[in-house]
Amino acid sequence: MAIMKSTGRKTVKGTKVSAPLSAKAKSVSKTATAIPPTHEQIAKRAYELYLERGSVEGHHEEDWLLAEAELSSGK
């Protein structure tokens, strides 16, 4: 029967060392690709921006691009 020792954040089993589960999960999430926002999500946020401005016409492209940028950056 192998004896495992806990050494702080790592588990040691014989000569093998295992990183903590949270460290493994972080490395996976860094390589994951971000999913771009959907058309519906962008349209909803652009409409919210339109309403926040007081429903002033003529800024639909600006609202769309700002909404797309916000949602893509995760804000």
pTM attached to this predicted model: 0.55
- Alpha helical stretches, state H, 1-75: 21-31, 39-52, 60-73
Q: What is the pLDDT of residues 13-54, one digit of tens each?
A: 666 666 655 555 555 445 567 789 999 999 999 999 999 999
The answer to whether residues 6 and 22 belong to one domain is yes
44 and 67 in one domain?
A: yes
- Other beta carbons within 10 angstroms of residue 54's beta carbon come to 6
- Residue 43 vs residue 75, higher pLDDT: 43
Collapsing DSSP states into helix, strand and coil, what is residue 39? helix
For 3, the domain range is 1-31
Give the number of domains in the chain.
2
The DSSP output letter for 10 is E
Q: Distance (Å, rounded) from C-alpha 7 to C-alpha 18?
A: 10
Cβ–Cβ under 8 Å, residues 50 and 60: yes
Does residue 63 sit in the same domain as residue 46?
A: yes
Domain co-membership, 49 together with 69: yes
Q: Answer yes or no: do 48 and 66 share one domain.
A: yes
Q: What is the mean pLDDT of residues 56-67?
A: 96
- Please say if the pLDDT value at position 4 is more than 70: no
Same domain, 26 and 50: no
* Two tokens, residue 17: 């060392």
**If you count them, how many residues does the chain have?**
75
Given this model, what pLDDT does residue 32 score? 60
